Amino acid sequence: MAKNFTVDSTLFKAKAKKLVKQLKLDENKVVREQAGLTAQLLAKITPPFKSFPAMSGKPTYTTGGAMGIGKKAVRAGFYSAVKRMGTVKQWTDKRMKKAIRSGDTAYIQQRLEHMKKSVKHNLRVRDYSDKLRNSQRNNRGRVNRGTQPIVMLKNADVNAGLKRAMNNVGIAKASFALAALRLGRGKAPTWISKHFSKVNTPVKMTKNPARVTFTAKAKGLDVVIRRLKAVERFRMVAMVKRLEQMVRADAKKAGFKTR
């Protein structure tokens, strides 16, 4: 899922634009700063998180415990799409031992058709691959309820696949964090920034009119897109409050009374 996110001079209509001129600020710098803060906030409200993050407070890329929550969710999703066959030692049947050892998926699937009490009864049996596991997921990167899992061989390959999947936690956040970094914000946590080489988040800046556009593409952005208008409103209100504080500070320096 790809989405364009734009912060431009239309944000400076009315009160905000008047305050920028009053303070004699560089409009392009203010737009760039606001775009960076917006990208950082979008990273913050991108899953994973324990509960939906508050937009207020010190700008951050994430919330406490988010990485652990993400890995837990990935593990649960992984095993709703993939079932282990088990190791050779866990079976007493010699033919099943041989089939697991040799990777005879056709034989194992045929045997499972007759194991009515098994949780793997009538499931497909295949060699593990990330591509096959990902085919079980929807466009949002989730496994739909009711999806039939696939029994996959071999345990070592399944374990390696799970490790790769869990290592991908943070990619969606990285798509916004990279834009924020390019727009002057601070460093992101390592579990997010390590994915910068995997995401493509182009940032385009123009001066007349003052505009910043960045495009994020990753699974799981549906949560962010639904909240985009709320984020824009929050950033606009926060910006105006900050500008008003700057105006009052200038007035105090000049000796005027302020409320």
Same domain, 209 and 193: yes
Same domain, 14 and 75: no
Residue with tokens 């606001």: 34
Residue 88: exposure state from Cβ atoms within 10 A (0-12, 13-18, ≥19): middle
133 and 81 Cβ atoms separated by less than 8 Å: yes
Structure tokens at 180: 């924020």
Q: Please check whether residue 59 lies inside any domain of the structure.
A: no
Say how far apart CA 83 and CA 192 lie, in whole Å: 29
Q: Please check whether residue 188 lies inside any domain of the structure.
A: yes
Same domain, 156 and 72: yes
Q: From residue 114, how far is each of 40, 98, 107 by CA, in Å?
A: 54, 18, 12
Same domain, 94 and 142: yes
Q: Which of 133, 167, 201 is the last residue of a domain?
A: 167
Q: Which of 167, 188, 216 is the last residue of a domain?
A: 167
Q: Please check whether residue 58 lies inside any domain of the structure.
A: no
Q: Please check whether residue 57 lies inside any domain of the structure.
A: no
Same domain, 71 and 146: yes
Question: Quick one: three-class SS letters along the chain?
Answer: CEEEEEEEHHHHCCHHHHHHHHCCCCHHHHHHHHHHHHHHHHHHCCCCCCCCCCCCCCCCCCCCCHHHHHHHHHHHHHHHHEEECCCHHHCCCHHHHHHHHHCCHHHHHHHHCCCCCCCCCCCCEEECCHHHHHCCECCCCCECCCCCCEEEECHHHHHHHHHHHHHCCCHHHHHHHHHHHHCCCCCCCHHHHCCCCCCCCCEEEEECCEEEEEEEECCCCHHHHHHHHHHHHHHHHHHHHHHHHHHHHHHHHCCCCCC
Please state the pTM of the whole predicted model: 0.82
Q: Please check whether residue 61 lies inside any domain of the structure.
A: no
Same domain, 248 and 192: yes
Same domain, 80 and 98: yes
Q: Please check whether residue 223 lies inside any domain of the structure.
A: yes
Q: Please check whether residue 54 lies inside any domain of the structure.
A: no
Instruction: From first to last of the 259 residues of the chain, give the pLDDT tens digit.
Output: 556 665 554 554 556 677 777 777 777 888 888 889 999 999 999 999 999 999 998 999 999 999 999 999 999 999 999 998 888 888 888 999 999 999 999 999 999 998 888 888 889 999 999 999 999 888 778 888 888 999 998 888 999 999 999 999 999 999 999 999 999 999 999 999 999 999 888 898 888 777 888 888 887 788 888 888 888 888 888 887 877 877 777 655 654 444 4
Q: What is the distance of C-alpha 199 from the center of its chain?
A: 11
Q: From residue 20, how far is each of 23, 36, 51, 132, 240 by CA, in Å?
A: 5, 18, 36, 54, 9
- Structural domain containing residue 102: 67-167
pLDDT at 5: 65
Same domain, 139 and 174: no
* Number of domains into which the chain is organized: 2
Same domain, 81 and 147: yes
pLDDT at 253: 61
Q: Which of 111, 134, 167 is the last residue of a domain?
A: 167
Q: Please check whether residue 62 lies inside any domain of the structure.
A: no
Same domain, 112 and 154: yes
